[in-house]
Structure 1
Amino acid sequence: MGPYDARLPIFSSKEQKCSSDVMKAARLLIECLEAEGVSRIFGIPGEENLDIMDEISSSKIEFVLTRHEQAAAFMAGTVGRLTGRPGVCLSTLGPGATNLVTGVADAFLSNLPLIALVGQAGIVRRHPPQKQVLDLMTMFRPLTKMCIDVDRPDRTASAVREAFILAKAERSGPVMLQLPEDVMKMSVDDIPVAEENHPSQPGELSALDKIRTALRSSSNPLVIVGHGAVRSNAVEEVRAFCRTWNLPTACTWMAAGVMPYDDPLSMGTIGIRNSDLVKDCFEPADLVLLVGYDATEFQPQYWNKGRKKTLLVLGEGGPGEAENFQIDIMALGDLKGSLSMLQGGSVPKSNWAGSVRLKLQRETEVLEQGPKGMVQSIRRQLGRRDILVSDVGAHLIWLAKYYPTYEENTLLLQNGLISMGVAIPSAIAARMIHPERKVVAAVGDGGFLMSSAELETAKRLGVNFVTVIFNDGGLGLIREKMERGFGRSSNVDMGFPDIPTYARSFGAEGYSVGGKDFEDVLQDCLERDVLAVIDVKVDYSHNCRLF
């Protein structure tokens, strides 16, 4: 669905109502969110949403006060990613709303279900030019599946229900609700709209039959699994299907772990156009089956040059358009059902990519120092279900290439907007959702200072995790690309605080260590379950191996 705004409700809660009490629209809004199963709202309040904040305080919903609205949106996106239900973030108008934009855009390009509750000036004065007033509908429209203007109190319940339906529908993404201050104060006689369950159907039988026939006749079929398989809760079905047909399987960065690293069919993760070992599979492959794939995850022009391969698509939403992306057969519908149906009549293929897997294992598992050694240390200290969240920088690529993943949503990589500063907020949300798991945030020194104020949020909430800084004294990934492109680099070096002192100022533990001591310190922090920051100086002279 393309981005657009909505002003007219498509549901009527009045038709379902048995009885109700007159209440403020702000109260109804919170009751609607409770009915949708919302347990937390992340954000920063302002004058324009004081009525909403007051109603939250007497509800079952926890308000998580962050230090920046961008972090609130990142946290809400992580809730959507890990639970499949929309995370909710809140801001006031003007600068609060503009601060929210990057996190909402991240959810849009990563297809994460999210609801943004954005305060706005009252109906009379909300048109620019006014102090702090911007045209928020126009600003958010390109970044969301829909913007809904709740410009009357009787639209509150239907707007919330519509927002949650749209946010979860494939391809999932963010929806913005504009909440004028005066409307939220108005009285309304209404109740939340009941959630209705409409089971989806598998792809058309004729399309599934064609996919089955194409698989049978192919010599070197390859499966690429995208994040849509995780969003569709079809991980077990993907594994069963690929094992039944004996198909070598690669996962996009956001689908890492859908096919476990230790499965003989696993070809690891893909997301870099030149250096992934799995690229060795693409040249001989005559057929590629895309399961829950989105073209933004790994662009077809990097793996289907010349459009020589037969392309098959299975998913609940279309994969988008891209260069070198001519789909031969597509079956859209319930992914779990489609995969289960395709197991019938299977003809197991020979694992023609076995030699590529052996090469992948050798390169991944050989012990090294430097950034790869740090990745190996983190892997040894985390269990199969523990969570590693990566920020953006050179370290992200080292993790994508050399961090074996065994379960979905245990390696959280960015491959949509790819915004720096995401890891610490995401780690907070991940640990709140999964308090039983260990959580590590891997960041560069550049990304760390973009969101390190959220360490105060973590300390205040009692949310413990370990932040590992891959510190090269600057923007290492950009430095590498400059030197490769121009033979020199500029404006990428920066200063950095004393981490032990800086971390302690937030109430966290802080360490600056060399590579040899890193794993011992990491192990100790994880075993004691403390909020800690470990600063490790890294030599990125080996970054040339990444490209």
Structure 2
Amino acid sequence: MKASDLFVKALETEGVQYVFGIPGEENLDLLESIRKSNIKLILTRHEQGAGFMAATYGRLTGQVGVCLSTLGPGATNLVTPAAYAQLGAMPMMMITGQKPIKTSKQGRFQVIDVVDMMRPITKYTTQVVSADRIPSAVREAFRLAQEERPGAVHIELPEDIAAESSDTNILTPTTPRRPIAEYKAINRAVEMIEAAQTPLLLIAAGSNRKLTSKMLREFVDKTGIPFATTQMGKGVLNENDPLFVGNTALSDGDFVHRAIKRADLIINIGHDVVEKPPFFMEEGGQKVIHINFDSASVDPVYFPQLEVVGDIANSIWQIKEQIEPQAHWQNDAYNDLNDAFADHRDAAQADDRFPILPERLVRDVRSAMPDDGIVTLDNGVYKIWFARNYPAYSPNTLLLDNALATMGAGLPSAMAAKLVYPDRAVLSVCGDGGFMMNSQELETAVRLKLHIVVVIMRDDAYGMIKWKQANMNFDEFGLDYGNPDFVKYAESYGAKGWRIETVEGLHERIEHCLKEPAVHVIDCPVDYSLNDATLNHNLREISEKL
């Protein structure tokens, strides 16, 4: 079998549906093999868009998303998506081309050491030096990409190797069983939880797995123990639950942080060091149980008293089976904080000034989206408001990046979400800065006939940095820019463009766009001027009374 055919056959055996990317001349053998296969090539307008789509596919399905580029500049354009997938624990494989490695006659033209470049930001990177190595290289890459903690992997397939022949057999994928926690750790966890007065679940990034979500639901239903989430843990449990005490979107001082401080025991599930911890431990202070696939990375502010290491879902199930609800648990200790937060949030969301406030925009998006609709966020100050104020009712219905926190991923993520879930509503919220970083993918979305809605929060500046600049007492400088007419810009790609001119118009327009199959772009002017008033004055004034 031709090596490129063997490679694609290995991808098919792994269950690959899509390859996202931009081929170059070094990929032409592989491109022809994809043409003859059952895999669909999603041609994008930039390798970065392809990488973000592949990573989001992995995030939503748990399967490895695959993207493709040529050598040199095509490969370097995958560096940001590689870091995005690696830090965000999204299974993704990158395939890059390379000049012939045996008889190259072009010197170093476009040649860089892509394998070494990818080494610090992937779990696995290799160059295929023989067609016979393809089955094992692909199997190992997929195994590592999906193994906890998931992440990015990379295979370089040189042009001359792709054209070779091989009679090597494809390796069949296997599904390993993850280790489970020792019974002594489970028993000790049960003892500590039953002895606590105000236990609190903290659900973090590593909890965002289907089985974990199911087991956590059963655990909370049995015990009635309240829960909070980190940004990457949003939606693991239904946040419309009265036991939900908030999301750790802000650095400190919010209602949810006060709830965390009231807890005498924090059951920290799926803690990931890429996210800033929402609490700092002190010797002799509140106790912490670390439940995760891996042991804790201990530092001066995180040194859990108990580590339950093993498959998270199984650990939760074992604890749930043994634990008995206790009469002395004060599960209502956080109720006043919940009520105060609701009053605080509702007052801001009712504001009817225009340009629209971010809190009001969050409310309008939530009320327009169906319960299972998927919102993808780019990166900007509005991400805080969505993490804090947008209740997610099920896993992966609010996709945000609190790991690499890169701009430019919002639109490609929405496109991937629509491919995975064609029957669900998909909406992307982007700042004008982040949107323009990959806005060319509108053409890809139109070509694929995707039904997605993109809301651009336009303030004609890099608003997040501008806000920080002001808070650090620097003079305003270097962060304002001009924008195209986003309505005409969308229409030039064959999408539908809309402009919001009143505060009441946003909700109505989103509802309309969700009903009409097309690629929709909504230009919505936004006002960030009350960020400080809301976060620093009203928040402190209200929460300090509690």
Q: Normalising TM by the smaller chain, what interval?
A: over 0.9
1:521 equivalenced with 2:501 (yes/no): no
- Which residue is equivalent to 1:424? 411
- Which residue is equivalent to 2:431? 444
Q: 1:468 aligns with which of 455, 458, 462?
A: 455
What CA distance in whole angstroms lies between the structure 2 residues aligned with 1:396 and 1:125?
50
The alpha carbon displacement at 1:529 in A equals 2.6
1:364 equivalenced with 2:345 (yes/no): yes
1:132 equivalenced with 2:119 (yes/no): no
The alpha carbon displacement at 1:220 in A equals 1.8
Contact 2:281 2:303 in 1 (8 A): no
1:214 equivalenced with 2:192 (yes/no): yes
The alpha carbon displacement at 1:320 in A equals 4.1
Task: Answer with 154-163 or 189-198: which moved more.
Answer: 189-198
Contact 1:286 1:310 in 2 (8 A): yes
| Secondary structure class of the residue paired with 1:41 | strand
- Which residue is equivalent to 2:330? 350
- What whole-Å deviation, never above 9, does each CA across 1:23-51 have from its counterpart, x for those lacking one? 11110110010011100010000011111
What CA distance in whole angstroms lies between the structure 2 residues aligned with 1:282 and 1:401?
15
TM-score, normalised by the number of residues in structure 2: 0.93
- Which residue is equivalent to 2:526? 538
- What whole-Å deviation, never above 9, does each CA across 1:64-107 have from its counterpart, x for those lacking one? 00010011110011011100111001111100000011011100
Q: What pairs with 1:218-297 in structure 2 (closer than 5 Å)?
A: 218-231=196-209, 233-297=211-275
1:31 equivalenced with 2:14 (yes/no): no
- What whole-Å deviation, never above 9, does each CA across 1:370-421 have from its counterpart, x for those lacking one? 2111111100110111000000011111111111111110000110100001
TM-score, normalised by the number of residues in structure 1: 0.92
Task: Answer with 42-51 or 219-228: which moved more.
Answer: 219-228
What CA distance in whole angstroms lies between the structure 2 residues aligned with 1:58 and 1:279?
55
Q: 2:315 aligns with which of 299, 320, 338?
A: 338
**Closer, same or farther: CA 34–323 of 1 in aligned 2, 3 Å:** farther
**Closer, same or farther: CA 214–24 of 1 in aligned 2, 3 Å:** same
Q: 2:497 aligns with which of 495, 505, 510?
A: 510
- What whole-Å deviation, never above 9, does each CA across 1:414-462 have from its counterpart, x for those lacking one? 1010000100000000011001111110000111110110000000001
What CA distance in whole angstroms lies between the structure 2 residues aligned with 1:161 and 1:457?
30
**Closer, same or farther: CA 505–242 of 1 in aligned 2, 3 Å:** same
Contact 2:280 2:302 in 1 (8 A): no
> What residue identity is the alignment partner of 1:110?
G
- What whole-Å deviation, never above 9, does each CA across 1:171-212 have from its counterpart, x for those lacking one? 110111111111111100022201122222421111111111
The alpha carbon displacement at 1:265 in A equals 1.2
What CA distance in whole angstroms lies between the structure 1 residues aligned with 2:191 and 2:76?
51
The alpha carbon displacement at 1:305 in A equals 5.6
Q: 2:305 aligns with which of 328, 335, 338?
A: 328
- % identity of equivalent residues: 37
What CA distance in whole angstroms lies between the structure 2 residues aligned with 1:436 and 1:120?
39
What CA distance in whole angstroms lies between the structure 1 residues aligned with 2:276 and 2:364?
28
What CA distance in whole angstroms lies between the structure 2 residues aligned with 1:25 and 1:154?
8
- Which residue is equivalent to 1:10? none
> What residue identity is the alignment partner of 2:458?
N
> What residue identity is the alignment partner of 1:177?
I
> What residue identity is the alignment partner of 1:176?
H
What CA distance in whole angstroms lies between the structure 1 residues aligned with 2:89 and 2:469?
31
Q: 1:92 aligns with which of 52, 70, 73?
A: 70
- Which residue is equivalent to 1:401? 388
Contact 2:296 2:307 in 1 (8 A): no
What CA distance in whole angstroms lies between the structure 2 residues aligned with 1:396 and 1:206?
41
Contact 1:150 1:177 in 2 (8 A): yes
Task: Answer with 169-178 or 251-260: which moved more.
Answer: 251-260
Contact 1:307 1:325 in 2 (8 A): no
> What residue identity is the alignment partner of 1:392?
N
1:317 equivalenced with 2:294 (yes/no): yes
What CA distance in whole angstroms lies between the structure 1 residues aligned with 2:466 and 2:149?
35
What CA distance in whole angstroms lies between the structure 1 residues aligned with 2:271 and 2:317?
18
| Secondary structure class of the residue paired with 1:283 | helix
Contact 2:102 2:160 in 1 (8 A): no
Q: What pairs with 1:374-385 in structure 2 (closer than 5 Å)?
A: 374-385=361-372
- Which residue is equivalent to 2:544? none
| Secondary structure class of the residue paired with 2:188 | helix
- Which residue is equivalent to 2:139? 161
- Which residue is equivalent to 1:60? 38
| Secondary structure class of the residue paired with 1:233 | helix
The alpha carbon displacement at 1:528 in A equals 1.2
What CA distance in whole angstroms lies between the structure 1 residues aligned with 2:53 and 2:124?
20
**Closer, same or farther: CA 489–323 of 1 in aligned 2, 3 Å:** farther
Contact 1:443 1:467 in 2 (8 A): yes
Contact 1:104 1:174 in 2 (8 A): yes
Aligned-residue Cα RMSD (Å) equals: 1.8
> What residue identity is the alignment partner of 2:251?
R
Contact 2:249 2:388 in 1 (8 A): no
| Secondary structure class of the residue paired with 2:304 | coil
What CA distance in whole angstroms lies between the structure 2 residues aligned with 1:163 and 1:400?
33
Task: Answer with 520-529 or 26-35: which moved more.
Answer: 520-529
Contact 2:446 2:518 in 1 (8 A): no
Contact 1:394 1:543 in 2 (8 A): no
- What whole-Å deviation, never above 9, does each CA across 1:268-309 have from its counterpart, x for those lacking one? 221421254210112222221111221222335x54366732
What CA distance in whole angstroms lies between the structure 2 residues aligned with 1:368 and 1:320?
43
What CA distance in whole angstroms lies between the structure 1 residues aligned with 2:367 and 2:299?
38
**Closer, same or farther: CA 525–481 of 1 in aligned 2, 3 Å:** same
Contact 2:291 2:308 in 1 (8 A): yes
1:454 equivalenced with 2:441 (yes/no): yes
Give 5+ residue unaligned stretches, structure 2: 537-546
What CA distance in whole angstroms lies between the structure 2 residues aligned with 1:126 and 1:330?
53
**Closer, same or farther: CA 268–188 of 1 in aligned 2, 3 Å:** same
> What residue identity is the alignment partner of 1:368?
D
- What whole-Å deviation, never above 9, does each CA across 1:220-270 have from its counterpart, x for those lacking one? 221111222223631010121123222211111122111212212112221
Count of residue pairs brought into register by the alignment: 524
- Which residue is equivalent to 1:299? 277
